[in-house]
Structure 1
Amino acid sequence: MSKPKVLISDKMDPNAAKIFEERGCDVDVITGETPEELKARIADYDGLAIRSSTKVTAEIIDAATNLKVIGRAGIGVDNVDIPYASSKGVVVMNTPFGNSITTAEHAIALMMALARQIPEANDQTQAGKWPKSAFMGVEVTGKTLGLIGAGNIGSIVASRALGLRMKVVAYDPFLTEDRAIELGVEKADLDTLLSKADFISLHTPLTDQTRNILSRERMEAAKPGVRIVNCARGGLVDEAALKDLLESGQVAGAALDVFETEPPAPDHPLFGTKNFICTPHLGASTTEAQVNVALQVAEQMADYLVNGGVTNALNMPSLSAEEAPKLRPYMALAENLGSLVSQLAHGNLTQISIEREGAAADLQGKPITAAVLAGFMRRYSDSVNMVNAPYMAKDRGLDVREVRHDREGVYHTLLRVTVATSQGDRSVAGTLFGNEAPRLVEIFGVGIEAELAGHMLYIVNEDAPGFIGRIGTLLGENGINIGTFHLGRREAGGEAVLLLSVDQPIPPEVERKACELEGVKVVKALSF
């Protein structure tokens, strides 16, 4: 089996390449290429490791016919078309923790620089002046810091601010009361934060909901004399409005490490504005952070390509390298069950339920659900996997339900997949033998034990003597060799199910002839 190939297309710590090699990947480091050069090269690679320079557009992804994972050494993934990557089944990872401390410290540094007007005082002092009386700063002790975003970086900023004896008010839709208490901050809505904060620090991604979250109206409604720090993403602050409010004094000072357009134009309106300071996107620029994110992205990508572990993925459930071997047989079972119910159920299917019982109930459910959907969505597309299947299901309006049962039934572990059809619910179930071998154990209410693999034929018939002989004869006459027979029935003389594996695909004419056999109700050729 050939090794996965990885391309590092942006400059990063050389130890990243060593990690890829040590963990079983072939790696090329080729930086500074144009989009056209990258487009011509990328088809050879399973993984693409980037920083901020490489722009992974839809065109690049289309050319990357073998690509399985994109790894961003850092937090921001504005340079990756994540929806398109997801639609193509490509995992997108980042390293959200590698530069968290560095970015938080930069925010605190800018806040202190604003409070004491350090940049301007430095410039005038070095110009030969001694403007001691011109600079009257403010203490941060006892002041209120308003955090917009209390995730990884925001929570670190909160801890540093509390160490400076500040009060911290946080606005974050995902912040729970318990987490706020744990952080030692006051949870508040945005209007309350604006009314209380002496300093505001932003730590949220740029989305449609957060763009210009500090708009002109909101900054005008803020506490007079507020000081604003943004080390998160450009576009969170209305830059034109910020200039006006700095000049009016409503905003006493502002420090930006990020801009809506980077690099900003030399004649950017904020440049030269009094009480405005800026840095060139230095939030993650420390030696420690650059090393950390490079090593982390290499470890994450190698784990995925070699072991199937998924860490810090933005478009699929995370799955550690330790969890992956344990979950792998479950995901194989889940994918086959999803495929089986998809092939057998007819009509417009709008709801699917995935139930975990026994030992399966204690496992992480998201990867299992993604595997079921990967099998199920093949009724619509051949190019589907665990990454894009949930997105495809959502696009089609499929109602996906996950159910976890604490009970343990006949089997020590069980997965059940049910779809709602116009004829009622249709359900299939499976288990693992020896915690490794996936087996079907129930199909549409009929108990049947079978391995789902290769080419198979599903038949529902009246339970009567001679039927097995008739179907065997039919297949034999058409040169189709039977591998295994699996039988089940509701009751003697009632409805029976036959599931058999064959060595080659069932031709349509053989499927039609099987339908014509006495007592046959349903015939369906299957493929796994």
Structure 2
Amino acid sequence: MSETWTVLLPATIDPSGPDELSDFASFVSISEYADEAALVADAGRFDAVITRTVPLTADFFDAADSLRVVVKHGAGVDHVDIDAATRNGVLVANTPGKNTNAVAEHALTLLLAAKRQVVRADAATRQADWRRHDFEGHELSGRTVGLVGAGNAGRRFAALLTGFGVSCVAYDPYVDPGVLPEHVELVESVRAVFEAADDASVHVPLTEDTRHVVGREELRLLPDDGVLVNTARGGVVDEAALVDALESGDIAGAGVDVYETEPPTADDPLLDRERAVFTQHNAGLTAEAARAVSLATAEHVRTVYEGGRPDTALNDPA
């Protein structure tokens, strides 16, 4: 094919993917646009979009009359108006599983850091504030870890836990029980996860069904030495409920990578909770994952360019 495409790229992307498309594509960075209005005004120039988190709204799709495909750099597409894409004949695909190990390792890191108060101890040590007994933690061995979601990242997280001698319970109405590790037991509800778990980790996309699925009642079911980890999406956990649970001592700590508003503001009450560990929605950001996801997005763009349909297509546009 001799047609040349213009591809909109995230502000940061591993170059291996765009390099794979260079025989037919030119590239524009999302960083060139100051706001949504500027992006919408220029939407008609794009044939393909590779997206991370910048919202792609109905206004954008209505104006993007040359657009063929949007590929998510990752799995979650809550920032993409898929109905509007479908209505405008735009195929939407994602790249699940390419950063699974990165997310799972990060979830484990947050769990251990929160249980052992690593960040607080680090800050005190840097100030020569030697009070080691104030940072007494809790062990992971022998506990039950609950999983809200047992997809790619949830199952990999559970697999990483095997060396700690834990058992796991999980709720996921979409998973085939046959793909779960032997030490993971499926239960019938999110509430049942928290009734059985000592610590819990969230691994589901943000949808209308999962918004605030972890709230006050669920957090109160964890023991007072329990830890909640969220590397999925901020809206899955009710942040006000999490603040209350940390402040009241209903749980011992939290590991938070994602937020209801990103980035969170400096006066966000969640950030005042000293027994929580915070990162910047970077659970999936490793050099290895960046390359794998970049190449996968490029493969999907090329598939559509050549008249095909990616195997992870999320809609069926006219």
Per the TM superposition, whether the score is higher than 0.5 is: yes
Residues 9 and 30 in structure 1, CA contact (< 8 A), matched pair in contact too: yes
AA in 1 matched with 2:78: D
Q: How far apart are the structure 2 equivalents of 1:249 and 1:186?
A: 28
Q: How far apart are the structure 1 equivalents of 2:307 and 2:92?
A: 16
Q: How far apart are the structure 2 equivalents of 1:266 and 1:160?
A: 33
More contact order relative to length (CA 8 Å, sep ≥ 6): 2
Query: Residues 46-87 of structure 1, C-alpha deviation per residue, up to 9 Å, x if partnerless?
Result: 2112222x3211111111112110111112222211111012
- 1:139 is matched with 139
Q: How far apart are the structure 2 equivalents of 1:290 and 1:64?
A: 27
Q: How far apart are the structure 2 equivalents of 1:137 and 1:79?
A: 38
- 2:279 is matched with 279
The alpha carbon displacement at 1:277 in A equals 1.6
Distance 1:2 1:170, change over 3 A: same
Runs of 4+ in 1 over 6 A off after TM superposition: none
- 2:129 is matched with 129
Q: How far apart are the structure 2 equivalents of 1:315 and 1:151?
A: 20
Q: How far apart are the structure 1 equivalents of 2:162 and 2:86?
A: 40
- 1:484 is matched with none
Residues 175 and 187 in structure 1, CA contact (< 8 A), matched pair in contact too: no
The alpha carbon displacement at 1:214 in A equals 1.1
AA in 2 matched with 1:154: G
SS of the residue corresponding to residue 179 of structure 2 reads helix
- The equivalences for 1:349-388 within 5 A come to 387-388=317-318
Residues 4 and 46 in structure 1, CA contact (< 8 A), matched pair in contact too: no
Q: How far apart are the structure 1 equivalents of 2:184 and 2:86?
A: 36
1:149 aligns with 2:149: yes
The alpha carbon displacement at 1:186 in A equals 0.8
SS of the residue corresponding to residue 251 of structure 1 reads coil
Distance 1:67 1:183, change over 3 A: farther
The alpha carbon displacement at 1:28 in A equals 1.9
Residues 224 and 251 in structure 2, CA contact (< 8 A), matched pair in contact too: yes
Query: Residues 434-465 of structure 1, C-alpha deviation per residue, up to 9 Å, x if partnerless?
Result: xxxxxxxxxxxxxxxxxxxxxxxxxxxxxxxx
Q: How far apart are the structure 2 equivalents of 1:74 and 1:6?
A: 21
Q: How far apart are the structure 2 equivalents of 1:161 and 1:72?
A: 29
- 2:45 is matched with 44
Residues 93 and 313 in structure 1, CA contact (< 8 A), matched pair in contact too: yes
Larger Rg: 1
Residues 4 and 45 in structure 1, CA contact (< 8 A), matched pair in contact too: no
SS of the residue corresponding to residue 22 of structure 2 reads helix
The alpha carbon displacement at 1:176 in A equals 3.4
Residues 145 and 198 in structure 1, CA contact (< 8 A), matched pair in contact too: yes
SS of the residue corresponding to residue 79 of structure 1 reads coil
The alpha carbon displacement at 1:95 in A equals 1.0
1:27 aligns with 2:23: no
| Length-normalised TM-score, structure 2 | 0.93
SS of the residue corresponding to residue 128 of structure 1 reads coil
- 1:299 is matched with 299
- 1:114 is matched with 114
- 2:70 is matched with 70
- 1:88 is matched with 88
Residues 17 and 29 in structure 1, CA contact (< 8 A), matched pair in contact too: no
- The equivalences for 1:289-368 within 5 A come to 289-316=289-316
- The equivalences for 1:84-483 within 5 A come to 84-180=84-180, 182-189=181-188, 190-316=190-316, 387-388=317-318
Q: How far apart are the structure 2 equivalents of 1:131 and 1:172?
A: 42
Of Structure 1 and Structure 2, the greater strand share is in 1
Residues 199 and 222 in structure 2, CA contact (< 8 A), matched pair in contact too: no
Query: Residues 27-59 of structure 1, C-alpha deviation per residue, up to 9 Å, x if partnerless?
Result: 22333113333333332332112222x321111
Residues 155 and 183 in structure 1, CA contact (< 8 A), matched pair in contact too: no
Q: How far apart are the structure 1 equivalents of 2:158 and 2:250?
A: 24
Q: How far apart are the structure 1 equivalents of 2:200 and 2:171?
A: 11
1:3 aligns with 2:19: no
- 2:14 is matched with 13
The alpha carbon displacement at 1:261 in A equals 0.6
- 1:414 is matched with none
Distance 1:44 1:244, change over 3 A: closer
The percent of aligned pairs where both chains have the same amino acid is 37
SS of the residue corresponding to residue 271 of structure 1 reads helix
SS of the residue corresponding to residue 66 of structure 2 reads coil
Residues 82 and 92 in structure 1, CA contact (< 8 A), matched pair in contact too: yes
AA in 2 matched with 1:13: D
Distance 1:196 1:251, change over 3 A: same
Superposed CA RMSD in Å reads 1.7
Which residues of structure 2 form unaligned runs of 5+? none
Residues 230 and 256 in structure 2, CA contact (< 8 A), matched pair in contact too: yes
Distance 1:43 1:274, change over 3 A: closer
| Length, aligned pairs only | 314
| Length-normalised TM-score, structure 1 | 0.57
Which residues of structure 1 form unaligned runs of 5+? 317-386, 389-528
- 1:446 is matched with none
Distance 1:177 1:296, change over 3 A: closer
AA in 2 matched with 1:29: V
Query: Residues 94-152 of structure 1, C-alpha deviation per residue, up to 9 Å, x if partnerless?
Result: 11112111111100000010111100000001111111111111111111110000001
Q: How far apart are the structure 2 equivalents of 1:40 and 1:186?
A: 51
Residues 5 and 44 in structure 1, CA contact (< 8 A), matched pair in contact too: no
